[in-house]
Amino acid sequence: MQKGVVAINDLKLRQLLEQVQQGQVSVEEALERLRRFPYEDLHFAKVDHYRQFNKGFPEVIYCPGKTTEQIVEIARRLAGSGAAVLATRAGREVFEAVSREIPRAEYYPAARMVVIRSGEDPEPVGNVTVISAGTADHPVAEEAALTAELMGSRVHRLFDVGVAGIHRLLDNWELVMKARVLVVVAGMEGALASVVGGLARCPVIAVPTSVGYGASFGGLAALLAMLNSCATGVTVVNIDNGFGAGYAAALINRMGEGKD
């Protein structure tokens, strides 16, 4: 175990395993204890190596507010533990710095994400469909799509089908109806989420974007419209939060596996 890992060590782990062996602690209780550790204290960050065990996906690096050096070090520690690495809202300069340390790093400029895969990707499952209203919404929609893909979901993309030309959406309605989860990304007045939510038969995660003219107030108009949607089954994440929508969609999609 690397220096700096705290909250559990070989002695504590041995004691826990002996307690399980002797019947003093149940397997379920031991698993619950293990979910709380370990993490690695880098002083500027506490890297949660057990996030994957607890959540089914490793800790994700949100790049804004961190220095490039901090991002590189966190990525190095996560990759060194064998976990996949996902860094969101990453510029190309961040990718170049990470790739110098970890050459297998990949950059997805549309999603603004750096990805370091832990090995061969598993066969994707389920069906998450990401819908965007316009081309300007593409970065947020792609962030959602790539997040869900990295979490093991089969993802379909249906972009630039907003209400200004609703026939574009209706021409692809069969794809919408096959989805297990829908992520709908829209700026301006955010009406697309209500249109889709009123017709689809699966959960809809609405993502307002900051795209629009002055009265859109940086996405606030779309956010309020989505929150006030009269369509049932629509939930809403924060403005431009494609990552959060993709993560939630992947969790819902995973729960439905084997139930179709």
**What residue spans of the chain are helical by DSSP H?**
10-21, 27-34, 51-55, 68-80, 92-101, 138-150, 167-170, 173-177, 192-197, 220-227, 242-255
Q: How confident is the model at residue 1 (pLDDT cuts 50, 70, 90)?
A: very low
State yes or no: pLDDT of 8 exceeds 60: no
Query: What digits encode the pLDDT tens for the residues 172-229?
Result: 998 999 999 999 999 999 899 999 999 999 999 999 999 989 888 999 999 999 999 9
Sign of CA dihedral 226, 88, 149, 170: positive
pLDDT of residue 119: 75
Q: Rounded CA gap, 24 and 125, in Å?
A: 39
Helices of type H across 35-151: 51-55, 68-80, 92-101, 138-150
Residue range 114-149, pLDDT digits in tens? 999 887 777 888 999 999 999 999 999 999 999 999
Please state the pTM of the whole predicted model: 0.82
Mean pLDDT of 154-182: 92
Position 11 confidence tier, pLDDT thresholds 50, 70, 90: low
**The architecture CATH gives domain 125-255:** 3-Layer(aba) Sandwich (3.40)
* Confidence (pLDDT) at 260: 56
What torsion do the CA atoms of 169, 141, 149, 33 make, to the nearest 10 degrees? -130
Show the CA angle centred on residue 22, arms to residues 17 and 28, nearest 5°. 60
Output the average pLDDT for the chain: 87
> What are the residue ranges of CATH 3.40.50.1970 in the chain?
125-255
How high is the pLDDT of residue 149?
A: 93
Please state, in angstroms and rounded to a whole number, the distance separating the CA atoms of residues 6 and 37. 8
For 128, the token pair is 């998450």
249 class by beta-carbon count within 10 Å (0-12 exposed, 13-18 middle, 19+ buried): buried
